[in-house]
């Protein structure tokens, strides 16, 4: 399924034209993915994109607002009446134009792997709020329903994308992991964070998918790796030092077959000055350091290469540079 230094992307792209985004993806990476297009619509942002089917959700497109109505007990009861462990909750074209265009473009082809994505349960429940501004995370019932919704959307992607590939890899996008433990998230315990991640990972695996997680900042990587995740994606460009201190949990993670997705091409302002030579030297140095720390000669066979984060905040031209560098970097490393 994965070759040495296979490449993929995170999810968001800066395009407003889904076809152009798909063409760039399909021409650049080994593991193609459907593009999230936040500049096209408010509904393609991280929280709204996965809100269909969540009981009580209200959307105001004109004001770019989303919230949960606390007086939605009838919708909650209806959800429980219809939900099962095999429920598939689609992401419709109005919330993900890139998905429909992507599957149209790959029709008739077969890939070793394709990547899908969901917003992580922590980011989702802490980002989605009720009308009083309280995150649904702090409502135990809605927190559990949110996991069901997200897993159902992962199952739907595995079902839809599975006809085009041998394996579907679902990335759990969890930027809020980097903020856990700060004053902004008092009341969110590491134990509950790990439980939410573990439940989501379990759902993806039970549906036949490969589970992966992306966090583009510092994180408690031991907690992440103990969630049962298959692939860990970190921002190697800015946060390699933080990631590399977790040597013991990383060794255990790799011993049980885990893979590291190395986010080495920057997707922030640094992309303007980024060059292939510097990125290649940085990757070789980091790779050598971690291989030595872990005492593993097989690390190269466990590594996927990615950008450091999604490209949605960049310009189209900058995103083309990101994926051009990613493609060239793989060739440079394999050739060197």
Q: What whole-number distance in Å separates Cα of residue 331 and Cα of residue 82? A: 49
Q: What is the CATH number of the domain that holds 320?
A: 3.20.20.210
Tell me, yes or no, whether 324 lies in a domain: yes
Q: Residue 317 has what pLDDT?
A: 98
Model confidence pLDDT, tens digit, residues 95-135:
999 999 999 999 999 999 999 999 999 999 999 999 999 99
Model confidence pLDDT, tens digit, residues 220-254:
999 999 999 999 999 999 999 999 999 999 999 99
Asked if the model's pLDDT at residue 308 lies above 90, the reply is: yes
Q: What 3 state SS string does the chain have?
A: CCCCCEECCCCECCCCCHHHHHHHHHCCCCCCECCECCCCCHHHCCCHHHCCCCCCEEEECCCCEEEECCCCHHHHHHHHHHCCCCCCCCCCCCCCHHHHHHHHHHCCCCEEEEEEEEECHHHHHHHCEECCCCEHHHCHHHHHHHHHHHHHHHHHHHHHHHHHEEEEEEEEECHHHHHCCCHHHCCCCHHHHHHHHHHHHHHHHHCCCEEEEEECCCCCHHHHHCCCCCEEEEEHHHHHHHHHCCHHHHHHHHHCCCEEEEEEECCCHHHHCCCHHHHHHHHHHHHHHHHHHHCCCCHHHHEEEEECCCCCCCCHHHHHHHHHHHHHHHHHHHHC
What is the count of structural domains for the chain? 1
Percentage of the chain beyond pLDDT 70 is 100
Model confidence pLDDT, tens digit, residues 270-287:
999 999 999 999 999 999
Mean pLDDT of the chain: 95
Model confidence pLDDT, tens digit, residues 196-223:
999 999 999 999 999 999 998 889 999 9
Tell me, yes or no, whether 305 lies in a domain: yes
Q: Residue 60 has what pLDDT?
A: 95
Q: Residue 300 has what pLDDT?
A: 87
Tell me, yes or no, whether 179 lies in a domain: yes
336: confidence class by pLDDT, cuts 50, 70, 90: low
Tell me, yes or no, whether 97 lies in a domain: yes
Model pTM score: 0.96
Q: What whole-number distance in Å separates Cα of residue 205 and Cα of residue 154? A: 10
Name the residue range of residue 320's domain. Answer: 6-335
Q: Residue 2 has what pLDDT?
A: 82
Task: Identify which of 43, 54, 169 has the alpha carbon closest to the alpha carbon of residue 118.
Answer: 169
Tell me, yes or no, whether 116 lies in a domain: yes
Q: Which residue has the higher pLDDT, 296 or 86?
A: 86
Tell me, yes or no, whether 1 lies in a domain: no
Measure Cα distances from 95 to 90, 118, 148, 177 in Å. 10, 13, 19, 25
Tell me, yes or no, whether 137 lies in a domain: yes
Q: Residue 178 has what pLDDT?
A: 86
């Amino acid at each position: 399924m994965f070759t040495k230094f296979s490449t993929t992307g995170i999810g968001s792209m800066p395009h407003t034209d889904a076809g152009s985004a798909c063409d760039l993806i399909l021409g650049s990476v080994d593991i193609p993915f459907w593009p999230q297009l936040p500049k096209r619509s408010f509904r393609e942002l991280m929280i709204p994109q996965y809100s269909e089917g969540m009981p009580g959700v209200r959307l105001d497109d004109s004001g770019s607002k989303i919230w949960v109505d606390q007086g939605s007990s009838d919708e909650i009861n209806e959800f429980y009446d219809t939900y099962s462990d095999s429920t598939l909750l689609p992401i419709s074209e109005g919330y993900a134009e890139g998905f429909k265009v992507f599957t149209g473009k790959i029709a008739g082809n077969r890939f070793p792997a394709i990547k899908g994505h969901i917003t992580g349960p922590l980011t989702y429940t802490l980002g989605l709020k009720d009308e009083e501004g309280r995150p649904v995370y702090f409502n135990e019932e809605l927190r559990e329903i949110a996991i069901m919704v997200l897993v159902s959307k992962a199952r739907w992607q595995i079902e839809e994308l599975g006809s085009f590939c041998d394996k579907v890899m679902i990335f759990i996008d969890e930027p809020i992991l980097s903020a856990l433990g700060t004053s902004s998230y008092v009341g969110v315990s590491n134990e509950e964070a790990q439980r939410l991640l573990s439940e989501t990972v379990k759902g993806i695996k039970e549906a036949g998918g490969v589970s992966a997680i992306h966090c583009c900042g510092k994180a408690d990587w031991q907690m992440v790796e103990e969630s049962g995740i298959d692939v860990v994606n970190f921002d190697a460009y800015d946060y390699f030092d933080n990631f590399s201190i977790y040597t013991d949990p990383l060794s255990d993670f790799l011993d049980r077959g885990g893979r590291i997705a190395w986010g080495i091409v920057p997707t922030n302002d640094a992309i303007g000055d980024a060059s292939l030579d510097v990125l290649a030297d940085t990757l070789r140095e980091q790779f050598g350091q971690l291989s030595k720390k872990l005492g593993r000669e097989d690390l190269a066979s466990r590594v996927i290469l990615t950008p450091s984060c999604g490209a949605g905040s960049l310009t189209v031209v900058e995103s083309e540079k990101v994926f051009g560098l990613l493609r060239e970097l793989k060739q440079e490393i394999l050739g060197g």
